[in-house]
Amino acid sequence: MAHSLSNGISTESLDDEGEEFRFSSELSLESVRAAQHQFCRDRDWRQYHPPRNVLLAMVGEVGELAELFQWRSEVSRGLPEFSASDKTRVGEELSDVLIYLIDLAEQCHVDLPSAVLDKMAKNAAKYPAERVRGRSDKYSDYPEYRPQEGQQKKEAGEEGERERGGGGGGGEAAVVSRVGREREEGDGSE
């Protein structure tokens, strides 16, 4: 039987065959956004919350969350290795990250719930379950996604032209091209 701590973290480590962990259905992202907006408004803090500041604050909170996991060996689902106070701190730091993420979405005028669903649909198209089940490769590493050899040479030539400032794209296209390549070499979270 699972027990829930006051911070909402389940004490049971769940497996793929057990019950599914679920969030409380009493809150929506919009209600959290509205509460945070009012919290800042009541304190006249909106002036200190431009997107850059909110992003940097969120990154700081991610760092605080990471500290709770740092120097531990493998961590299991449900955090059975954590003390009750550490589990509470995990909940607090996750809350800080979420609050800043929602605030940042508001500052950037991004409808976060819609953006999440759109991104999940794109990920489902890139990673169809019947093709990728049990594999963690990046979508571009699957044979069915690899461009034909002639297409690769054409794209490489176009990238080289953009990086030299030609092709009508100027230097900006070269930066976009490099950023795109760096993302493709990343962790697959795009």
Residue of higher predicted confidence among 53 and 138 = 53
97 and 152 together in one domain: no
- Predicted local distance difference test score (pLDDT) of residue 25: 82
Whole-number percent of the chain with pLDDT over 90: 47
86 and 155 together in one domain: no
| Predicted confidence (pLDDT) at residue 174 exceeds the cutoff of 50 | no
| Domains in the chain, number | 2
97 and 162 together in one domain: no
161 and 102 together in one domain: no
Of the pLDDT bands very low, low, confident and very high (cuts 50, 70, 90), residue 14 is very low
- Predicted local distance difference test score (pLDDT) of residue 147: 56
33 and 104 together in one domain: yes
Rg (CA), the chain: 22
Q: Which residues of 48-78 are buried (b: 16+ CB within 10 A; e: fewer)?
A: ebeeeebbebbeebbeebeebeeeeeeeeeb
Which of 84, 108, 132 corresponds to the end of one domain? 108
- Predicted local distance difference test score (pLDDT) of residue 19: 67
43 and 104 together in one domain: yes
Per-residue model confidence as pLDDT tens digits over 93-106:
999 999 999 999 99
Which of 91, 108, 125 corresponds to the end of one domain? 108
What is the extent of the structural domain holding 51?
29-108
Report CA torsion sign: 131, 135, 138, 142.
negative
CA distance 126 to 137: 11
- Give the relative orientation of helices 84-107 and 51-69 as an angle to the nearest 10 degrees: 160
Domain annotation covers residue 49: yes
Among 107, 123, 101, 96, CA closest to 48: 107
State the average pLDDT over residues 56-71. 96
158 and 104 together in one domain: no
Domain annotation covers residue 165: yes
- Predicted local distance difference test score (pLDDT) of residue 18: 61
Helices (H), 18-148: 29-42, 51-69, 84-107, 112-126, 129-132
Average pLDDT taken over every residue of the chain: 77
What is the reported pTM?
0.64
Which of 85, 108, 131 corresponds to the end of one domain? 108
